[in-house]
A and B are shown apart, each in its own frame.
Chain A
């Protein structure tokens, strides 16, 4: 089993998808064990692929990737090949996707117990994972696009899993349509790149872009179209609106969407095409600005949300923004490292909130929670670790990845971007502490909910503990010693890079500031919300009513879109429908029918039914024809 057979990782879950979708309902337990087994197989195979790749890998000898492709079709002298491309980015993505998916799958066995369409949930989960795995190993943009859309469809199916609920179907539609808008841009970008280079192959396009074979403006425009797709998928401003609503799906799905599949697709594609972004002047700046805007906006909105999952959703949006900031700073290492650590932490948080929701019998409003730590010790402890990790405290995972981020941002853009990025981290620390305190600490707000709360079974707490360990240790991967010990060439910076491997060296000033910011955030959060008391926060909200309302309503972005759609789209539709109704239908279709009918109703009186009239007509016809013939001949 070598890296050339990496396609098996996606093929196994895809096959199981068909089995489950067709026969799942007849299998005992809906065939959930098949799903776990399939992803487990992918998880195990990943280690073989990684080992094979690492034994092959040699940067000095330019052995940095393995490809395997087959001829798909030939049209004239255009040859289309489909294949896989395994390199450092792929390996990192594999690690994230297989690990998180496996945990989510195991967790789902407990969480989804007794739900209707149990088998269907696991079936789509397999397809979701398979599409995502295919996406990260595709060697050409066409395959990227196909798996990209597959990921979109699966997220649509899973977000709308409870389709009996109107809000769920609405959220599914919103997610699908919003990402579709970006996807159109992606398709345009792919076509533009293909038109200029004549190939879909990612490496060839990168070479062409780096060699300057594509005009600057053309390159910039086409890569911006591609980035539009990434923004849609990764919920970047102004496409971020779908992600919080996507909470309507089952909680394990949220974990999957936020950590391993779907939203990281955009980050992955940007990282994959980063050389092209670099070759196009100004593209990286756009990426940075979009990322910073999203990060700040989402971190602010998260303050005023009361639904656990919504808070987490906005924190994801914010962190995704930071990932783009890292990529915008030209550092795929920082971006992917942040992606990885965030994936483990965020999966843990979502599964933890899922555990809370199940433990409190489907309650996810913070206003009714509180004091759950004692009732749910495992969930509470893991959640606590995850909260501190997301807040950016050392030695937990995200501190190290954010340190990488700050270093590269400082190096590339200087102080202004650094300050803004830190502001986002600071805000995250505050609202994460708020989330934790209001859920687990202090006095319970709702006695009844509190009394019925109980710890969830092992099938759910197991994945929590596993992810908790990863949330603690995965950050250490930044150190070269840790990487070497695991068989990698070194730390993340020596494995994933743009041009040259970078050794990790801690910048004590930056690390100190970062630590100070995180600690300050945590302390402020703890001060304001201590003991699950809302006194201080309410005073704060009353002090700034306008700001609070804006945050509460997510800066009215949804309302703005609604307004634009109502006025613009519906206005145009009204005109079009008027045209259709009155011009096409009434005049064109009904009109011609009416003309025929009306002329018939008049002309029918010519049909007297009296034989002499017909005979007269015949005679006059003969006379008329003869005269006409004579005239023509004359």
Chain B
């Protein structure tokens, strides 16, 4: 029972923080809301007993990605008087609402098979590592190469070129 109350608190907080990201009138506030929102998702991972993933979430998102975003915000000065929303914002709201309606109705309408009633137990780290490095070995390597290439590309893109 206590878990459920706790879940609801975290869930509502995550939704509110996410809403803050997209509705906030300040870029900086949005970034801070994002950190919270991502943390909320991490907490959800804990509820789902995948502690390792929660750890990755906190480290990679809460740390690295957010820092990158804040850095970008600092490098690109934004005019405070400028509206943060585009002209198609009302339509965007409508599109989002429609998508939400579809997704929610689909989630609720379906009777999910094999609904496990008992509380999930924590998955040992060894199982995950074995799965990740043995069964998904090749995709893992490819993903790491992708990451490397992307970051090298990012450096080249962002580099100050001669004569600029």
Contact flag (A, B; Cβ within 8 A) = yes
Residues of A near any B CB (own CB < 8 A): 612-613, 616, 619-620, 622-623, 626-627
Residue B99 contacts which of A612, A613, A623 (CB distance < 8 angstroms)?
A: A623
Q: B88 touching A620 by the CB < 8 A rule?
A: no
Task: Kindly identify, within residues 126 to 161 of chain B, every residue whose CB is under 8 Å from any CB belonging to chain A.
Answer: none
| Distance between Cα atoms of A612 and B88 in the complex (Å) | 8
Does B163 reach chain A (CB closer than 8 Å)?
no
Does B98 reach chain A (CB closer than 8 Å)?
yes
**With A612-B92, A619-B96, A626-B102 given, can you name 15 additional A-B contacts, CB distance below 8 Å?**
A612-B86, A612-B88, A613-B88, A616-B88, A616-B91, A616-B92, A616-B95, A619-B95, A619-B99, A620-B95, A623-B95, A623-B98, A623-B99, A623-B102, A627-B102
B88 to chain A, nearest CB (A): 6
> Which of chain A's residues have a CB closer than 8 A to the CB of B91?
616
> Which of chain B's residues have a CB closer than 8 A to the CB of A622?
99
> Which of chain B's residues have a CB closer than 8 A to the CB of A626?
102
> Which of chain A's residues have a CB closer than 8 A to the CB of B99?
619, 622-623
| Distance between Cα atoms of A627 and B86 in the complex (Å) | 27
Closest to A618 in B: B95
Q: Mind listing 19 A-B residue pairs with CB under 8 Å?
A: A612-B86, A612-B88, A612-B92, A613-B88, A616-B88, A616-B91, A616-B92, A616-B95, A619-B95, A619-B96, A619-B99, A620-B95, A622-B99, A623-B95, A623-B98, A623-B99, A623-B102, A626-B102, A627-B102
> Which of chain B's residues have a CB closer than 8 A to the CB of A627?
102
B93 to chain A, nearest CB (A): 11
Closest to A622 in B: B99
| Distance between Cα atoms of A627 and B102 in the complex (Å) | 8
> Which of chain A's residues have a CB closer than 8 A to the CB of B88?
612-613, 616
| Distance between Cα atoms of A619 and B94 in the complex (Å) | 11
Closest to A624 in B: B98
Q: Mark B8-24, 1 if CB is under 8 A from A, else 0.
A: 00000000000000000
Closest to B102 in A: A626
Closest to A620 in B: B95
| Distance between Cα atoms of A175 and B150 in the complex (Å) | 82
Q: Mark B93-114, 1 if CB is under 8 A from A, else 0.
A: 0011011001000000000000
| Distance between Cα atoms of A494 and B75 in the complex (Å) | 122
| Distance between Cα atoms of A220 and B96 in the complex (Å) | 88
Closest to B106 in A: A626
Closest to B97 in A: A623
B71 to chain A, nearest CB (A): 22
| Distance between Cα atoms of A189 and B88 in the complex (Å) | 80
Task: Kindly identify, within residues 59 to 90 of chain B, every residue whose CB is under 8 Å from any CB belonging to chain A.
Answer: 86, 88
| Distance between Cα atoms of A217 and B102 in the complex (Å) | 84
B142 to chain A, nearest CB (A): 26
- Enumerate the 7 nearest inter-chain pairs by beta-carbon distance, A residue then B residue, closest first: A619-B95, A623-B98, A612-B86, A626-B102, A620-B95, A616-B88, A623-B99
> Which of chain B's residues have a CB closer than 8 A to the CB of A612?
86, 88, 92
| Distance between Cα atoms of A619 and B96 in the complex (Å) | 8
B13 to chain A, nearest CB (A): 27
| Most chain A CB inside 10 Å of its own CB: which residue of B88, B95, B96 | B95
| Distance between Cα atoms of A622 and B98 in the complex (Å) | 10
> Which of chain B's residues have a CB closer than 8 A to the CB of A623?
95, 98-99, 102
Closest to B96 in A: A619
> Which of chain B's residues have a CB closer than 8 A to the CB of A619?
95-96, 99
> Which of chain A's residues have a CB closer than 8 A to the CB of B86?
612
A338 to chain B, nearest CB (A): 99
> Which of chain A's residues have a CB closer than 8 A to the CB of B98?
623
Closest to A626 in B: B102
Closest to A611 in B: B86
| Distance between Cα atoms of A620 and B88 in the complex (Å) | 13
| Distance between Cα atoms of A142 and B122 in the complex (Å) | 99
> Which of chain A's residues have a CB closer than 8 A to the CB of B92?
612, 616
| Most chain B CB inside 10 Å of its own CB: which residue of A613, A620, A623, A627 | A623
B116 to chain A, nearest CB (A): 28
B65 to chain A, nearest CB (A): 21
Closest to A612 in B: B86
Closest to B87 in A: A612
> Which of chain B's residues have a CB closer than 8 A to the CB of A616?
88, 91-92, 95
| Distance between Cα atoms of A623 and B106 in the complex (Å) | 13
| Distance between Cα atoms of A53 and B121 in the complex (Å) | 121
| Distance between Cα atoms of A619 and B91 in the complex (Å) | 11
Closest to A613 in B: B88
| Distance between Cα atoms of A627 and B99 in the complex (Å) | 10
> Which of chain A's residues have a CB closer than 8 A to the CB of B102?
623, 626-627
Closest to B101 in A: A623
B6 to chain A, nearest CB (A): 34
| Distance between Cα atoms of A101 and B138 in the complex (Å) | 94
A619 to chain B, nearest CB (A): 5
Closest to A623 in B: B98
| Distance between Cα atoms of A622 and B86 in the complex (Å) | 21
| Distance between Cα atoms of A627 and B103 in the complex (Å) | 12
| Distance between Cα atoms of A612 and B98 in the complex (Å) | 17
B104 to chain A, nearest CB (A): 13
| Distance between Cα atoms of A616 and B88 in the complex (Å) | 9
Closest to A617 in B: B95
> Which of chain B's residues have a CB closer than 8 A to the CB of A613?
88
Q: Mark B47-63, 1 if CB is under 8 A from A, else 0.
A: 00000000000000000
| Distance between Cα atoms of A622 and B91 in the complex (Å) | 15
B24 to chain A, nearest CB (A): 18
> Which of chain B's residues have a CB closer than 8 A to the CB of A620?
95
| Distance between Cα atoms of A285 and B43 in the complex (Å) | 117
A606 to chain B, nearest CB (A): 14
A626 to chain B, nearest CB (A): 5
> Which of chain A's residues have a CB closer than 8 A to the CB of B96?
619
| Distance between Cα atoms of A620 and B98 in the complex (Å) | 9
A618 to chain B, nearest CB (A): 10
| Distance between Cα atoms of A13 and B131 in the complex (Å) | 95
Closest to A610 in B: B86
